[in-house]
Amino acid sequence: MKDKTIRLARNGINDLNEYTPGKPIEEVQREYGLDEIIKMASNENPFGPSPKAIEAMTKAINDVNLYPESSSLMLRQKIAGNFGIHEDMVTLANGADNILGLIAQATVNEGDEIVMGDPTFAAYDTRTRIMGGIPVKVPLKNFTYDLPAVAKKITSKTKLVFVCNPNNPTGTIVTREEVEDFMNSVPQECIVVFDEAYAEFVHPNIYPQTIKYIQDQRNVIMVRTFSKLFGLAGLRVGYAVGPKHLISMLRKVVEPFPVNRLAQSGALAAFDDHAFLNRVLTENEKGKEFLYQQFSKMKMAYCPSHTNFIFVDLGMDGQFVFEKLLEQGIIIRPGGLWNYPQFARITIGTSDQNEKLIEALNIIAG
Ligand SMILES: Cc1ncc(COP(=O)(O)O)c(C=O)c1O
């Protein structure tokens, strides 16, 4: 297959693999003949979508014969209001994934160097290579982005730096002070992308105020999503916040209607569904504490997490555990993907799901 396409494809994509998502529920149901499946593989919200979003989408469905508002104006205004900035400093797209792709399309020329942590979210590497850029990978230190080491890798060839904060798959963060020191050492012309897909789960006291750098007209883009805390992964809504000159670049490459009508109305309603959002945060913290305790009992080390997932050292082959859990209808993400074969990334579930996971893990661990 590769030989056939080698001259047809863009140079950048010949060495890429097709994306492998977390194993879908439907596939496991079919393969194992099971009814009930617990998915703890893609960091989705186990508490469902925001009820307010469901209500809003039910109303909006009557208008799907009409194209959506192209720039998601009301949603942009809502997000801009939240950060106290102008709506032209916000743009939306079909998930944060789509935003990351737009950033690469709008900025990366062949041969540009793009600096990122390792391991981190795979899209930075893929999007860079599609555009003919060169990924420059900086190993994590104590499972955390090593910002001083990242800064050292920035050269005159560096176009972008991706900082995944909290980092996927480890769930660790770089703090406000660490980011301040880092930003003081980054050249003005280099674009820093802070991927903050899990920002809402982090305690605000220690979390960097990325918006400050944007207001100071630094070349900074903050990326966020409605897929995690807001429970709308299936709708595909993500956004970028940045100074107008950078946001305008993203708008030049985005497709005409990137966020569909239902997604716009659902995200708008979810944004203010504080009862739902607070419940998810409380339950997530409870689930995290429960899993920490249980992992410790099983002598499994883990990275303390600022997200809705935990990177855990299973002390045995992650692929083996993944397959054994599948037999019991539980899907996790084995760590081989990130070259941590004994680890797994496990999404924090409902209390019932967490208990079932631990029961199953105890059986596997013997
Ligand atoms: C760090 C990070 N960035 C971006 C995304 C993509 O989010 P979305 O569902 O909005 O495309 C994810 C999803 O898992 C993520 O973990």
Pocket test for ligand 1, best of 79, 145, 163, 168 (most atoms within 8 A of CB): 168
> What integer is the mean pLDDT of 249-268?
98
| Average pLDDT value for residue range 141-147 | 98
Residue whose Cα lies nearest atom 2 of ligand 1: it is 197
Cβ atoms of 75 and 259 within 8 Å: the answer is yes
Buried b (16+ CB within 10 A) or exposed e, 316-338: eebeebbebbbebbbbbbbbebb
- Comparing 294 with 365, the larger pLDDT belongs to 294
The 3-class secondary structure across 5-23, one letter per residue, is: HCCCCCHHHCCCCCCCCCC
Bridge partners, 192 (sequence order): 161, 220
The predicted pLDDT at position 2 comes to: 55
Exposure on the CB side of residue 176, measured as CA atoms within 13 A:
10
Task: Looking at the CA of residue 43, tell me the nearest atom of ligand 1.
Answer: 14
The predicted-structure confidence for 110-131, as pLDDT tens digits, reads as follows 999 999 999 999 999 999 999 9
DSSP 3-state of 158: strand
The answer to whether 53 and 230 are in contact (CB under 8 A) is: yes
Asked if the model's pLDDT at residue 28 lies above 90, the reply is no
Residue 3, pLDDT score: 64
Spacing, Cα 195 to ligand 1 middle (Å): 8
Which residues form the pocket of ligand 1, taking CB atoms under 6 Å from any ligand atom? 43, 95-97, 121, 164, 168, 195, 197, 225, 227, 233, 238
- pLDDT higher than threshold 70 for residue 290: yes
CATH class (in words) of the domain with range 2-48+274-365: alpha beta
CA of 11 to the centre of ligand 1 (A): 26
As its CATH architecture, domain 53-271 has: 3-Layer(aba) Sandwich (3.40)
Sole residue written with tokens 């029961």: 359
pLDDT at 56 over 70: yes
Distance 197 CA to ligand 1 centre (A): 6
Nearest Cα to Cα of residue 241 among 99, 145, 107: 99
Is the pLDDT at 6 greater than 80, yes or no?
no
Ligand 1 center to 167 CA (angstroms): 11
Domains 2-48+274-365 and 53-271 share a fold: no
- pLDDT averaged over every residue in the chain: 96
Ligand 1 centre to CA of 226 (Å) is: 9
Give the Cα separation of 180 and 115 in Å (integer): 18
Question: For position 117, what pLDDT does the model report?
Answer: 98
Give the residue whose CA is nearest to atom 15 of ligand 1.
197
Average pLDDT over residues 53-66: 97
Counting beta carbons within 10 angstroms of the beta carbon of residue 366, is it exposed (0 to 12), middle (13 to 18) or buried (19 or more)?
exposed
Q: How confident is the model at residue 24 (pLDDT cuts 50, 70, 90)?
A: confident
Give CA separation, 87 vs 84, 173, 180, 194, 244, in Å.
Answer: 9, 28, 25, 19, 9
Distance CA 76, CA 87 (A): 6
Mean pLDDT of the region 21-44: 89
Rounded to the nearest angstrom, the distance between the alpha carbon of 273 and the centre of ligand 1 is 21
pLDDT score, position 280: 98
Q: Would you list the domain boundaries of the chain? A: 2-48+274-365, 53-271
From start to end of 96-219, where are the E strands? 113-118, 134-139, 158-164, 191-195
Which DSSP string do the residues of 317-341 spell out, in sequence order?
Answer: -HHHHHHHHHHTTEE-EEGGGGT-T
> Mean pLDDT across the stretch 264-275?
98
Q: What's the mean pLDDT in 80-91?
A: 98
Distance 224 CA to ligand 1 centre (A): 8
CA nearest ligand 1 atom 3, residue: 197
